[in-house]
Structure 1
Amino acid sequence: MKSFKNRNIASQVKQLGFTLVEMSVVLVVIGLIVGAVSIGSDLQRNAVYQQISSNFMQSWSQAYQNYFNKTGIVIGDSASAPTLKVDGANATPGEICTTSLQGFMDAAGIRMPAGRSEGNEDKFVYLDSNGNPQETTVCFQNVNWSLPGATSGYVVRKRNVMVLKSLTPDLARFLDSQVDGKVDARFGLFRESTLASNTGTASTDWSIDNRRAYGTTSNTNQDESQVAVVTAYFMMNN
Protein backbone atom coordinates (compact mmCIF):
# COMPACT_ATOMS: atom_id res chain seq x y z
CA MET A 1 0.00 0.00 0.00
CA LYS A 2 2.80 2.35 0.91
CA SER A 3 4.59 1.52 -2.34
CA PHE A 4 1.45 2.35 -4.30
CA LYS A 5 1.13 5.73 -2.58
CA ASN A 6 4.76 6.54 -3.35
CA ARG A 7 4.22 5.68 -7.01
CA ASN A 8 1.08 7.83 -7.05
CA ILE A 9 2.96 10.81 -5.54
CA ALA A 10 5.83 10.35 -8.00
CA SER A 11 3.35 10.26 -10.84
CA GLN A 12 1.79 13.53 -9.65
CA VAL A 13 5.20 15.17 -9.38
CA LYS A 14 6.06 13.96 -12.87
CA GLN A 15 2.80 15.35 -14.22
CA LEU A 16 3.50 18.64 -12.45
CA GLY A 17 6.93 18.77 -14.05
CA PHE A 18 5.46 18.29 -17.49
CA THR A 19 2.95 21.05 -16.77
CA LEU A 20 5.72 23.50 -15.90
CA VAL A 21 7.58 22.61 -19.10
CA GLU A 22 4.43 23.08 -21.12
CA MET A 23 3.83 26.44 -19.46
CA SER A 24 7.40 27.47 -20.30
CA VAL A 25 6.86 26.53 -23.92
CA VAL A 26 3.63 28.52 -24.01
CA LEU A 27 5.39 31.58 -22.54
CA VAL A 28 8.15 31.30 -25.13
CA VAL A 29 5.59 31.05 -27.93
CA ILE A 30 3.71 34.07 -26.57
CA GLY A 31 7.00 36.00 -26.42
CA LEU A 32 7.74 35.12 -30.02
CA ILE A 33 4.27 36.19 -31.11
CA VAL A 34 4.52 39.50 -29.25
CA GLY A 35 7.96 40.10 -30.76
CA ALA A 36 6.69 39.29 -34.23
CA VAL A 37 3.73 41.64 -33.81
CA SER A 38 6.05 44.41 -32.60
CA ILE A 39 8.41 43.90 -35.53
CA GLY A 40 5.46 43.78 -37.92
CA SER A 41 4.11 47.05 -36.52
CA ASP A 42 7.49 48.72 -36.95
CA LEU A 43 7.77 47.48 -40.52
CA GLN A 44 4.26 48.67 -41.32
CA ARG A 45 4.94 52.07 -39.77
CA ASN A 46 8.17 52.46 -41.74
CA ALA A 47 6.29 51.54 -44.92
CA VAL A 48 3.79 54.35 -44.22
CA TYR A 49 6.65 56.75 -43.44
CA GLN A 50 8.22 55.84 -46.79
CA GLN A 51 4.89 56.52 -48.49
CA ILE A 52 4.70 59.95 -46.82
CA SER A 53 8.25 60.66 -47.99
CA SER A 54 7.82 59.64 -51.62
CA ASN A 55 4.09 59.99 -52.39
CA PHE A 56 3.39 63.07 -50.29
CA MET A 57 6.43 65.20 -49.44
CA GLN A 58 8.47 64.58 -52.59
CA SER A 59 5.35 64.70 -54.77
CA TRP A 60 4.43 68.10 -53.33
CA SER A 61 7.99 69.27 -53.93
CA GLN A 62 7.62 68.23 -57.58
CA ALA A 63 4.22 69.95 -57.82
CA TYR A 64 5.80 73.15 -56.48
CA GLN A 65 8.56 72.89 -59.09
CA ASN A 66 6.00 72.19 -61.83
CA TYR A 67 4.15 75.35 -60.84
CA PHE A 68 7.35 77.38 -61.12
CA ASN A 69 8.25 75.81 -64.47
CA LYS A 70 4.81 76.53 -65.90
CA THR A 71 4.20 80.04 -64.53
CA GLY A 72 7.74 81.37 -64.11
CA ILE A 73 7.00 82.46 -60.54
CA VAL A 74 6.77 80.75 -57.17
CA ILE A 75 3.39 80.19 -55.52
CA GLY A 76 1.72 83.44 -54.51
CA ASP A 77 4.32 85.70 -56.09
CA SER A 78 3.54 88.69 -58.28
CA ALA A 79 3.57 87.93 -62.01
CA SER A 80 4.21 91.57 -62.92
CA ALA A 81 6.91 92.25 -60.33
CA PRO A 82 8.33 88.87 -59.17
CA THR A 83 10.12 88.78 -55.84
CA LEU A 84 11.00 85.06 -55.95
CA LYS A 85 9.29 84.76 -52.56
CA VAL A 86 6.32 82.56 -51.73
CA ASP A 87 3.29 84.83 -51.24
CA GLY A 88 5.46 87.69 -52.47
CA ALA A 89 2.44 89.46 -53.96
CA ASN A 90 1.41 90.38 -50.41
CA ALA A 91 3.05 93.20 -48.49
CA THR A 92 3.52 90.83 -45.55
CA PRO A 93 4.06 87.35 -47.03
CA GLY A 94 2.78 84.44 -44.97
CA GLU A 95 1.99 80.76 -45.36
CA ILE A 96 0.08 79.45 -48.33
CA CYS A 97 -1.98 76.47 -47.19
CA THR A 98 -5.20 74.50 -47.70
CA THR A 99 -7.73 76.07 -50.09
CA SER A 100 -5.35 78.88 -51.06
CA LEU A 101 -2.66 76.38 -52.03
CA GLN A 102 -5.14 74.20 -53.89
CA GLY A 103 -6.48 77.26 -55.70
CA PHE A 104 -3.04 78.24 -57.03
CA MET A 105 -2.41 74.69 -58.22
CA ASP A 106 -5.80 74.33 -59.87
CA ALA A 107 -5.50 77.73 -61.61
CA ALA A 108 -2.15 76.70 -63.08
CA GLY A 109 -3.43 73.25 -64.05
CA ILE A 110 -0.93 71.49 -61.81
CA ARG A 111 -1.84 68.00 -60.65
CA MET A 112 -1.61 67.68 -56.87
CA PRO A 113 -0.60 64.54 -54.93
CA ALA A 114 -3.50 62.36 -53.77
CA GLY A 115 -3.01 63.26 -50.11
CA ARG A 116 -5.81 62.30 -47.75
CA SER A 117 -8.61 62.53 -50.30
CA GLU A 118 -10.00 64.75 -53.04
CA GLY A 119 -10.19 68.26 -51.61
CA ASN A 120 -7.66 67.32 -48.92
CA GLU A 121 -4.61 66.85 -51.12
CA ASP A 122 -2.51 68.90 -48.69
CA LYS A 123 -3.08 66.44 -45.83
CA PHE A 124 -1.91 62.94 -45.00
CA VAL A 125 -3.23 60.80 -42.12
CA TYR A 126 -1.00 58.27 -40.37
CA LEU A 127 -0.69 56.49 -37.01
CA ASP A 128 1.88 57.40 -34.39
CA SER A 129 3.91 54.84 -32.42
CA ASN A 130 1.02 54.41 -29.95
CA GLY A 131 -1.43 53.68 -32.74
CA ASN A 132 -3.20 57.04 -32.47
CA PRO A 133 -4.14 59.03 -35.61
CA GLN A 134 -2.07 62.03 -36.66
CA GLU A 135 -2.51 64.33 -39.66
CA THR A 136 0.35 66.18 -41.30
CA THR A 137 -0.37 69.21 -43.46
CA VAL A 138 1.80 70.78 -46.16
CA CYS A 139 2.10 74.54 -46.73
CA PHE A 140 4.64 76.79 -48.44
CA GLN A 141 6.31 79.88 -46.99
CA ASN A 142 9.29 82.21 -47.30
CA VAL A 143 11.29 81.98 -44.06
CA ASN A 144 14.61 82.90 -42.49
CA TRP A 145 17.25 80.27 -43.28
CA SER A 146 20.87 80.09 -42.14
CA LEU A 147 23.57 79.61 -44.78
CA PRO A 148 27.39 79.58 -44.68
CA GLY A 149 28.76 83.13 -44.79
CA ALA A 150 31.13 84.41 -47.46
CA THR A 151 34.08 84.34 -45.08
CA SER A 152 33.16 82.41 -41.96
CA GLY A 153 30.23 81.45 -39.77
CA TYR A 154 26.60 81.50 -40.85
CA VAL A 155 24.28 84.24 -42.06
CA VAL A 156 20.51 84.38 -42.33
CA ARG A 157 18.83 84.66 -45.73
CA LYS A 158 15.27 84.30 -46.97
CA ARG A 159 14.41 80.96 -48.56
CA ASN A 160 11.24 79.30 -49.83
CA VAL A 161 10.33 76.17 -47.95
CA MET A 162 7.70 73.48 -47.72
CA VAL A 163 6.20 73.54 -44.23
CA LEU A 164 5.31 70.12 -42.85
CA LYS A 165 3.15 70.37 -39.75
CA SER A 166 2.27 67.75 -37.13
CA LEU A 167 5.14 65.35 -37.67
CA THR A 168 5.81 62.91 -34.85
CA PRO A 169 9.49 62.90 -33.80
CA ASP A 170 9.99 59.46 -35.37
CA LEU A 171 8.52 60.60 -38.67
CA ALA A 172 10.53 63.85 -38.64
CA ARG A 173 13.76 61.93 -38.09
CA PHE A 174 12.84 59.45 -40.83
CA LEU A 175 12.16 62.22 -43.37
CA ASP A 176 15.35 64.03 -42.29
CA SER A 177 17.42 60.92 -42.99
CA GLN A 178 15.66 60.46 -46.34
CA VAL A 179 16.41 64.03 -47.47
CA ASP A 180 19.82 64.70 -45.94
CA GLY A 181 21.21 61.20 -45.39
CA LYS A 182 21.46 61.71 -41.63
CA VAL A 183 19.43 63.06 -38.73
CA ASP A 184 20.27 66.67 -37.85
CA ALA A 185 17.57 69.23 -37.07
CA ARG A 186 19.93 72.20 -37.54
CA PHE A 187 21.69 71.52 -40.87
CA GLY A 188 20.71 70.30 -44.32
CA LEU A 189 17.69 70.87 -46.51
CA PHE A 190 15.32 69.41 -43.93
CA ARG A 191 15.24 71.20 -40.55
CA GLU A 192 13.12 71.68 -37.49
CA SER A 193 11.28 74.98 -37.91
CA THR A 194 12.66 76.46 -34.68
CA LEU A 195 16.25 75.79 -35.80
CA ALA A 196 16.13 76.74 -39.48
CA SER A 197 17.62 80.20 -38.90
CA ASN A 198 20.02 79.15 -36.15
CA THR A 199 23.54 80.39 -36.92
CA GLY A 200 25.29 78.06 -34.47
CA THR A 201 27.87 75.58 -35.71
CA ALA A 202 26.88 72.55 -33.61
CA SER A 203 24.76 69.71 -34.93
CA THR A 204 21.45 69.47 -33.10
CA ASP A 205 19.01 66.65 -32.55
CA TRP A 206 15.27 67.16 -32.91
CA SER A 207 13.87 68.89 -29.84
CA ILE A 208 11.61 66.04 -28.69
CA ASP A 209 11.16 62.31 -29.08
CA ASN A 210 8.28 59.86 -28.69
CA ARG A 211 8.44 60.08 -24.90
CA ARG A 212 6.66 63.43 -25.13
CA ALA A 213 2.86 63.30 -25.06
CA TYR A 214 0.80 65.72 -27.13
CA GLY A 215 0.06 68.98 -25.32
CA THR A 216 2.67 68.46 -22.58
CA THR A 217 6.14 69.81 -21.90
CA SER A 218 7.60 66.75 -20.23
CA ASN A 219 8.29 63.15 -21.21
CA THR A 220 5.03 61.73 -19.86
CA ASN A 221 3.92 59.69 -22.85
CA GLN A 222 1.73 56.70 -21.92
CA ASP A 223 0.72 53.81 -24.17
CA GLU A 224 -2.65 55.44 -24.85
CA SER A 225 -1.26 58.98 -25.32
CA GLN A 226 -1.11 60.79 -28.61
CA VAL A 227 2.54 61.49 -29.36
CA ALA A 228 3.69 65.13 -29.44
CA VAL A 229 4.49 66.63 -32.85
CA VAL A 230 6.93 69.08 -34.44
CA THR A 231 6.97 71.32 -37.53
CA ALA A 232 9.66 70.91 -40.18
CA TYR A 233 10.92 73.01 -43.10
CA PHE A 234 12.05 71.46 -46.38
CA MET A 235 13.92 73.99 -48.55
CA MET A 236 12.78 74.26 -52.17
CA ASN A 237 15.03 74.75 -55.20
CA ASN A 238 13.32 78.01 -56.22
Structure 2
Amino acid sequence: MVNLNGKKVIKMDVQMKQQGFTLVEIAIVLVIIGLLLGGVLKGQEMIKSAKVKAQMQQVDGISAAFNTYQDKYGALPGDDANAATNTGVAGLVNGNGGGSYSATEGDKLVWEHLEAANLLAGYTPAGNGRFINKYGKQAFFRTNYAGLQGAISCFTVPNEVAIEIDRKVDNGDGASGAMRRSNQAAYPTTAGDSWICTAA
Protein backbone atom coordinates (compact mmCIF):
# COMPACT_ATOMS: atom_id res chain seq x y z
CA MET A 1 0.00 0.00 0.00
CA VAL A 2 1.40 3.43 -0.95
CA ASN A 3 0.44 6.70 0.64
CA LEU A 4 0.34 9.55 -1.89
CA ASN A 5 -0.54 12.94 -0.42
CA GLY A 6 -2.61 11.39 2.23
CA LYS A 7 -4.39 9.06 -0.13
CA LYS A 8 -4.04 5.39 0.21
CA VAL A 9 -3.36 3.73 -3.07
CA ILE A 10 -3.19 0.00 -3.35
CA LYS A 11 -0.43 -1.12 -5.66
CA MET A 12 -1.07 -4.46 -7.20
CA ASP A 13 1.87 -6.33 -8.47
CA VAL A 14 0.36 -8.38 -11.26
CA GLN A 15 2.62 -10.76 -13.02
CA MET A 16 1.42 -12.07 -16.32
CA LYS A 17 1.98 -15.77 -16.57
CA GLN A 18 3.21 -16.78 -20.00
CA GLN A 19 0.97 -19.19 -21.87
CA GLY A 20 2.27 -21.81 -24.34
CA PHE A 21 3.81 -25.23 -24.67
CA THR A 22 7.16 -26.24 -23.37
CA LEU A 23 9.59 -28.18 -25.52
CA VAL A 24 8.88 -31.29 -23.49
CA GLU A 25 5.14 -31.02 -24.15
CA ILE A 26 5.72 -30.51 -27.87
CA ALA A 27 8.08 -33.49 -27.95
CA ILE A 28 5.49 -35.69 -26.24
CA VAL A 29 2.81 -34.64 -28.76
CA LEU A 30 5.15 -35.35 -31.68
CA VAL A 31 6.01 -38.78 -30.30
CA ILE A 32 2.30 -39.61 -29.94
CA ILE A 33 1.57 -38.43 -33.50
CA GLY A 34 4.50 -40.50 -34.77
CA LEU A 35 3.24 -43.61 -32.99
CA LEU A 36 -0.26 -43.12 -34.38
CA LEU A 37 1.01 -42.64 -37.93
CA GLY A 38 3.29 -45.64 -37.59
CA GLY A 39 0.38 -47.74 -36.36
CA VAL A 40 -1.88 -46.64 -39.21
CA LEU A 41 0.79 -47.30 -41.85
CA LYS A 42 1.63 -50.69 -40.34
CA GLY A 43 -2.07 -51.53 -40.24
CA GLN A 44 -2.45 -50.64 -43.92
CA GLU A 45 0.57 -52.76 -44.77
CA MET A 46 -0.90 -55.70 -42.83
CA ILE A 47 -4.22 -55.35 -44.68
CA LYS A 48 -2.44 -55.27 -48.05
CA SER A 49 -0.35 -58.30 -47.07
CA ALA A 50 -3.48 -60.21 -46.01
CA LYS A 51 -5.17 -59.42 -49.35
CA VAL A 52 -2.12 -60.55 -51.30
CA LYS A 53 -1.99 -63.77 -49.28
CA ALA A 54 -5.73 -64.37 -49.82
CA GLN A 55 -5.34 -63.88 -53.58
CA MET A 56 -2.36 -66.23 -53.67
CA GLN A 57 -4.36 -68.85 -51.75
CA GLN A 58 -7.22 -68.45 -54.22
CA VAL A 59 -4.85 -68.96 -57.17
CA ASP A 60 -3.35 -72.03 -55.47
CA GLY A 61 -6.87 -73.36 -54.78
CA ILE A 62 -7.90 -72.90 -58.40
CA SER A 63 -4.74 -74.63 -59.57
CA ALA A 64 -5.35 -77.55 -57.18
CA ALA A 65 -8.99 -77.84 -58.32
CA PHE A 66 -7.91 -77.74 -61.97
CA ASN A 67 -5.33 -80.51 -61.50
CA THR A 68 -7.71 -82.63 -59.41
CA TYR A 69 -10.34 -82.43 -62.17
CA GLN A 70 -7.77 -83.52 -64.75
CA ASP A 71 -6.62 -86.43 -62.58
CA LYS A 72 -10.16 -87.53 -61.77
CA TYR A 73 -11.79 -87.23 -65.20
CA GLY A 74 -8.84 -87.28 -67.63
CA ALA A 75 -9.92 -84.04 -69.28
CA LEU A 76 -9.43 -80.32 -68.92
CA PRO A 77 -12.22 -78.69 -66.92
CA GLY A 78 -14.12 -76.46 -69.32
CA ASP A 79 -13.00 -78.52 -72.31
CA ASP A 80 -14.38 -81.84 -70.99
CA ALA A 81 -16.72 -83.29 -73.65
CA ASN A 82 -18.32 -85.54 -70.99
CA ALA A 83 -18.57 -83.03 -68.13
CA ALA A 84 -22.28 -83.60 -67.50
CA THR A 85 -21.76 -87.38 -67.24
CA ASN A 86 -18.49 -87.14 -65.32
CA THR A 87 -19.85 -84.76 -62.69
CA GLY A 88 -23.39 -86.17 -62.62
CA VAL A 89 -24.88 -82.72 -63.15
CA ALA A 90 -27.71 -82.88 -65.67
CA GLY A 91 -27.83 -79.94 -68.03
CA LEU A 92 -24.18 -79.00 -67.52
CA VAL A 93 -22.75 -77.73 -70.81
CA ASN A 94 -19.96 -79.96 -72.11
CA GLY A 95 -16.76 -78.62 -73.64
CA ASN A 96 -15.67 -79.55 -77.15
CA GLY A 97 -12.90 -81.94 -76.06
CA GLY A 98 -10.35 -80.27 -78.29
CA GLY A 99 -7.63 -80.10 -75.65
CA SER A 100 -7.48 -76.31 -75.55
CA TYR A 101 -9.68 -73.41 -74.55
CA SER A 102 -11.77 -71.20 -76.72
CA ALA A 103 -12.81 -67.85 -75.23
CA THR A 104 -16.20 -69.32 -74.27
CA GLU A 105 -14.73 -72.39 -72.57
CA GLY A 106 -12.01 -70.44 -70.80
CA ASP A 107 -14.31 -67.70 -69.66
CA LYS A 108 -17.21 -69.75 -68.42
CA LEU A 109 -17.09 -73.53 -68.70
CA VAL A 110 -13.92 -74.04 -66.65
CA TRP A 111 -15.57 -72.52 -63.61
CA GLU A 112 -18.86 -74.35 -64.17
CA HIS A 113 -17.12 -77.73 -64.54
CA LEU A 114 -14.99 -77.17 -61.43
CA GLU A 115 -18.01 -76.16 -59.41
CA ALA A 116 -20.10 -79.08 -60.72
CA ALA A 117 -17.31 -81.44 -59.62
CA ASN A 118 -17.43 -79.84 -56.14
CA LEU A 119 -13.85 -78.66 -56.52
CA LEU A 120 -14.48 -74.93 -56.48
CA ALA A 121 -16.53 -73.29 -53.77
CA GLY A 122 -17.95 -69.82 -54.06
CA TYR A 123 -18.02 -69.48 -57.83
CA THR A 124 -19.40 -66.03 -58.49
CA PRO A 125 -19.86 -65.52 -62.21
CA ALA A 126 -19.32 -62.14 -63.81
CA GLY A 127 -21.74 -61.01 -66.50
CA ASN A 128 -19.55 -62.68 -69.12
CA GLY A 129 -19.23 -65.92 -67.13
CA ARG A 130 -15.77 -65.25 -65.77
CA PHE A 131 -14.88 -66.00 -62.16
CA ILE A 132 -14.78 -63.14 -59.64
CA ASN A 133 -11.57 -63.14 -57.58
CA LYS A 134 -10.75 -61.82 -54.09
CA TYR A 135 -10.49 -58.27 -55.40
CA GLY A 136 -13.93 -58.39 -56.99
CA LYS A 137 -12.26 -58.57 -60.39
CA GLN A 138 -12.35 -61.19 -63.12
CA ALA A 139 -10.36 -64.34 -63.77
CA PHE A 140 -10.28 -66.62 -66.82
CA PHE A 141 -8.44 -69.56 -68.43
CA ARG A 142 -6.66 -69.73 -71.77
CA THR A 143 -4.31 -72.12 -73.53
CA ASN A 144 -0.76 -71.06 -74.49
CA TYR A 145 -1.34 -67.48 -73.40
CA ALA A 146 0.93 -64.62 -72.30
CA GLY A 147 3.95 -66.54 -73.55
CA LEU A 148 3.21 -69.48 -71.23
CA GLN A 149 2.47 -73.02 -72.40
CA GLY A 150 -0.45 -75.25 -71.44
CA ALA A 151 -3.51 -74.22 -69.47
CA ILE A 152 -3.06 -70.73 -68.05
CA SER A 153 -5.17 -69.01 -65.41
CA CYS A 154 -5.27 -65.22 -65.53
CA PHE A 155 -6.72 -62.84 -62.99
CA THR A 156 -6.99 -59.09 -62.54
CA VAL A 157 -5.50 -57.42 -59.47
CA PRO A 158 -4.24 -53.94 -58.62
CA ASN A 159 -0.76 -53.28 -60.06
CA GLU A 160 0.93 -53.12 -56.66
CA VAL A 161 -0.59 -56.50 -55.76
CA ALA A 162 0.48 -58.01 -59.08
CA ILE A 163 4.06 -56.97 -58.38
CA GLU A 164 3.92 -58.35 -54.83
CA ILE A 165 2.42 -61.70 -55.90
CA ASP A 166 4.94 -62.08 -58.71
CA ARG A 167 7.80 -61.32 -56.30
CA LYS A 168 6.56 -63.93 -53.85
CA VAL A 169 6.06 -66.76 -56.36
CA ASP A 170 8.40 -65.84 -59.19
CA ASN A 171 10.89 -63.17 -60.22
CA GLY A 172 8.80 -59.98 -59.94
CA ASP A 173 9.10 -59.33 -63.69
CA GLY A 174 5.85 -59.23 -65.64
CA ALA A 175 7.68 -59.90 -68.90
CA SER A 176 9.28 -63.23 -67.95
CA GLY A 177 9.16 -66.20 -65.63
CA ALA A 178 6.39 -68.54 -64.53
CA MET A 179 4.03 -65.68 -63.72
CA ARG A 180 3.58 -62.93 -66.29
CA ARG A 181 1.53 -59.91 -67.11
CA SER A 182 -0.94 -60.77 -69.88
CA ASN A 183 0.78 -58.43 -72.37
CA GLN A 184 4.21 -59.72 -71.24
CA ALA A 185 5.36 -56.24 -70.21
CA ALA A 186 6.71 -54.87 -66.95
CA TYR A 187 4.16 -54.08 -64.27
CA PRO A 188 3.21 -50.41 -64.10
CA THR A 189 3.92 -48.69 -60.82
CA THR A 190 0.93 -46.39 -61.19
CA ALA A 191 -2.58 -46.97 -59.89
CA GLY A 192 -4.66 -49.35 -61.97
CA ASP A 193 -4.99 -53.06 -62.62
CA SER A 194 -2.98 -55.75 -64.38
CA TRP A 195 -3.94 -59.16 -65.71
CA ILE A 196 -1.41 -61.62 -64.32
CA CYS A 197 -1.19 -65.15 -65.64
CA THR A 198 0.35 -68.39 -64.42
CA ALA A 199 0.24 -72.05 -65.38
CA ALA A 200 -2.75 -73.87 -63.92
**Displacement of 1:17 after TM fit?**
4.4
User: Over the residues paired in the alignment, what is the CA RMSD in angstroms?
Assistant: 3.2
State the SS of the aligned residue for 2:119.
coil
Pair 1:115–1:175, CA change in 2 (3 A): farther
1:217 corresponds to which residue?
A: none
Pair 1:146–1:229, CA change in 2 (3 A): closer
Partners of 1:78 and 1:70 lie apart in 2 by 12
State the SS of the aligned residue for 1:97.
helix
**1:1-238 residue pairs with structure 2 within 5 A?**
4-5=13-14, 8-9=15-16, 12-13=17-18, 15-18=19-22, 21-54=24-57, 56-77=58-79, 79=81, 83-85=98-100, 87=101, 93-94=102-103, 96-98=106-108, 100-107=109-116, 109-114=117-122, 122-126=131-135, 135-146=136-147, 158-165=149-156, 167-180=157-170, 182-195=171-184, 205-206=186-187, 208-209=188-189, 211-212=190-191, 228-236=192-200
Number of equivalenced pairs:
174
**Displacement of 1:187 after TM fit?**
1.4
User: Please, which runs of 5 or more residues in structure 2 have no aligned partner?
Assistant: 1-9, 83-95
The TM-score, its normalising length taken from structure 2, stands at: 0.72
Structure 1 segments (4+ residues) deviating >6 Å:
none
Name which one, 1 or 2, has greater alpha-carbon Rg. 2
User: Please, which runs of 5 or more residues in structure 1 have no aligned partner?
Assistant: 88-92, 127-134, 148-157, 196-203, 213-227
User: Is the CA contact (8 Å cut-off) linking 1:113 and 1:121 kept in structure 2?
Assistant: no
User: Is the CA contact (8 Å cut-off) linking 1:141 and 1:160 kept in structure 2?
Assistant: yes
Q: Percent identity?
A: 20
1:198 corresponds to which residue?
A: none
Higher relative contact order (CA 8 A, sep 6+): 1
Pair 1:46–1:115, CA change in 2 (3 A): farther
